[in-house]
Amino acid sequence: MPSLDLYKIFFTVARSGSLSKAAEKLYITQPAVSHALKNLEEKLGTKLFVRTPKGVNLTHEGALLIQYIEQAYNFIFLGEQKLAEAVKMRSGEVHIVASETLCRHFLLPHLSRFTREFPQIKIHVTNRPTRETVQSILGGKADVGLVFLPVEEPELLTTKVLPIQDCFVVGEKLRHLTKTEMALEKIKAYPLIMLEEGSNTRHYIQTFLTSVGITVSPEIELGSIDLIAEFAKQNFGVATVIKEFAMRDMDNATLFELKTVPAIPPRNIGIIHMKDLPPSKATSAFIDCCLAKSL
């Protein structure tokens, strides 16, 4: 197996795009960098870089390798941060990733409480959909993620934090549909507003509909649940929303829930982190804050 020092040089050259810049960052000579790369290429049996007038570019094989090397270095840097926090008891930090909907409706109130209780802990938040949230955790780019369950990933530890109920809603013009129970099949008679494909929520609802023999093709596909609610309030059709996040509109009588039979099964919001990497003290405190029932 090639020395880790060779991979460090490879990683630095790939990120800087230049042998001379990499040499400066590594505090070694440019010939030493060239020799190390040649040594690594010989051990791996393939070219990793091609020279250009402006520096070097990764070959196809080099681009493939850098994906794994970058992930490894992300974990190394993360490990150094956690060790410094544990040994020196310095101010901790938590890297959180969550979808736009979860950031707005779940993360913000819990984060407000967390920062009041632990003002010394630095918070980093990244907005990504559930599938990208999972990849961020697996890639070592974040400590903890908030996701819509279910998420099937054996390398992650998943904790349920809040049950939620997906439902169908309409605006004022279709309010008459809410007076009695409605067979789920009948929603096909109206324009359907759903999240765009690729989201965990869209997959969950569409899988349920398919399981009861209903195939739908939404007329309107949007990127956020809040935007879906706005379209429903403007009477563009029947929309799928998360009931707990639409209660204000329902209480204000601008959205109205359909009593469909059968109803969409309930699911959960979950917290995910790496199963084999114990969370830091700061991350554990954040998870405990999310699990608290009262804000």
Print pLDDT tens along the chain (295 aa): 568 889 999 999 999 999 999 999 999 999 999 999 999 999 999 999 998 888 899 999 999 999 999 888 888 888 877 776 655 535 678 999 999 899 999 999 899 988 888 888 889 999 998 889 999 999 999 999 999 998 989 999 999 999 999 999 999 999 999 999 999 999 999 999 999 888 889 999 999 999 999 998 999 999 889 999 999 999 999 999 999 999 999 999 999 999 999 999 999 999 999 998 888 888 888 999 898 864 4
Bridge-based pairing state of the strands 238-242 and 220-222: unpaired
**What is the architecture, at CATH level 2, of domain 166-265?**
3-Layer(aba) Sandwich (3.40)
Identity of residue 187: I
CB 267 within 8 A of CB 130: no
What's the pTM?
0.66
Bridge-based pairing state of the strands 55-58 and 49-52: antiparallel
Range list of H helices, 212-277: 225-233, 247-251
Signed CA dihedral, 137, 143, 149, 151: sign only: positive
Pick from 261, 262, 264: which is nearest to 240 by CA? 264
Domain 4-84 has CATH 3.40.50.1370: no
Same fold, 91-163+268-291 and 166-265: yes
Rounded CA-CA distance 226/66 in Å is: 38
Residue ranges covered by each domain of the chain: 4-84, 91-163+268-291, 166-265
The domain 91-163+268-291 is placed in CATH, from the list 3.40.190.10, 3.90.1010.10, 1.10.10.10, 3.10.290.10, at 3.40.190.10
